[in-house]
Amino acid sequence: MLDLATTTVDGRNAAASTARRHRIILANAMDYAVERGLLDTNPIRVLKWTAPKVSSLVDRRSVVNPRQARALLDAVRSQQPSGPRLVAFFAVMYYAGLRPEEAINLSADNIVLPPRTWDAERQLWPDPPEDSDWGELHLRTATPDAGSEWTDDGSARERRQLKHRAEGDSRIVPTHPELTRLLRDHLAKFGTAPDGRLFGGVRGGELPTITYRRAWIKARQAALTAAEQASPLARRPYDLRHACLSTWLNGGVYPTQVAEWAGHSVDVLLRIYAKCVVGQDELAKRRISEALRQD
């Protein structure tokens, strides 16, 4: 049973994360059988089994640069009919590091944007200077895609606390001026759903996971070269979050601050993004050379 649970249907070894997860599920099922008196002991717990190593490091090849990220957002915008509604959805992942389940749950109450002053002479709302056009996202809950079979009310998503946070905890994330403008445009064009959420389906209701995944696949095909499409570059929307946190770290933002904005602990942050912080090896070499340089 364990061999079957940790291999694919064609007999090959399953991915390390899949093998670990299936082994845990099987062991828990046997624990339940022991509780019900169907088994005396859990046979899975006593089997000698070496768990495959799982790499938690972010692959640097999956991280887009700012030019590629903007090209992908433009490719999303060109898709009809749902594309224009999804630009800000993907943008909050790239510019603010939100997880997809946090972005989907974003509502007007979570957004604090800097005010604008009406220009009576030109009859328009001019954008403030870029340096002062930073806003904030106040995150309190998330709605991960659990599947309708596993939620209490039968919906595909279930509202929960933020990942790695206790019930009622929140975190504040700044919005870069580019993201601030995209959020303003989204609110002006599409408003919010009846429940206050920013992102929903074209016909109303909750934004389906399949909708934004399809849009992302098409965006990669339109914005990336054939070689880039074959690579891990931005293969999943979640990779936009990786790109955001990598940009913050490479930009010199203190890891403690990045961890706070991202909802990570500092040690987890540095372990996961160790390969995405570029330039540190050259800096270290220069410091070693300076330390060993003779007078």
For residue 154, name the pLDDT band (cuts at 50, 70, 90). low
- Which sign, positive or negative, has the C-alpha torsion 80, 108, 178, 186? positive
Same domain membership, residue 42 and residue 128: no
Mean pLDDT of the chain: 84
Q: What is the CA radius of gyration of the chain?
A: 23
**So what's the pLDDT on residue 113?**
86
The answer to whether position 264 is within a domain reads no
Domains identified in the chain, total number: 2
At residue 90, does pLDDT exceed 70?
A: yes
Q: What is the spatial distance between Cα 207 and Cα 210, in angstroms, rounded to a whole number?
A: 9
At residue 133, does pLDDT exceed 80?
A: yes
State the Cα angle at 173 between 168 and 175, rounded to 5°.
Answer: 145
* Residue ranges making up the domain that contains 107: 68-232
For residue 208, name the pLDDT band (cuts at 50, 70, 90). confident
CATH of residue 129's domain is 1.10.443
Same domain membership, residue 112 and residue 13: no
Percent above pLDDT 90 for the chain: 41
**Which class for 123: exposed (0-12), middle (13-18), buried (19 or more C-beta within 10 A)?**
exposed
Q: What is the spatial distance between Cα 167 and Cα 257, in angstroms, rounded to a whole number?
A: 22
Same domain membership, residue 100 and residue 198: yes
Contact 273, 246 (CB under 8 A): yes
**So what's the pLDDT on residue 46?**
87
* Count of CB atoms situated within 10 Å of the CB of 103: 26
CA neighbor of 186 nearest in space, from 130, 102, 261, 111: 111
The answer to whether position 135 is within a domain reads yes
Same domain membership, residue 166 and residue 72: yes
Q: What is the spatial distance between Cα 227 and Cα 218, in angstroms, rounded to a whole number?
A: 15
For residue 129, name the pLDDT band (cuts at 50, 70, 90). low
- Predicted TM-score (pTM) of the model is 0.77
**So what's the pLDDT on residue 54?**
61
Same domain membership, residue 122 and residue 89: yes
Residue burial 124-140, b: 16+ Cβ < 10 Å; e: rest: eeeebeeeebebbbebb
99 or 275, higher pLDDT: 99
Same domain membership, residue 83 and residue 28: no
Same domain membership, residue 217 and residue 120: yes
**So what's the pLDDT on residue 150?**
66
DSSP per-residue string spanning 76-95: HHTSTTTHHHHHHHHHHHHH
Same domain membership, residue 114 and residue 14: no
Same domain membership, residue 139 and residue 19: no
Same domain membership, residue 191 and residue 75: yes
Same domain membership, residue 212 and residue 79: yes
Contact 101, 145 (CB under 8 A): yes
At residue 53, does pLDDT exceed 80?
A: no
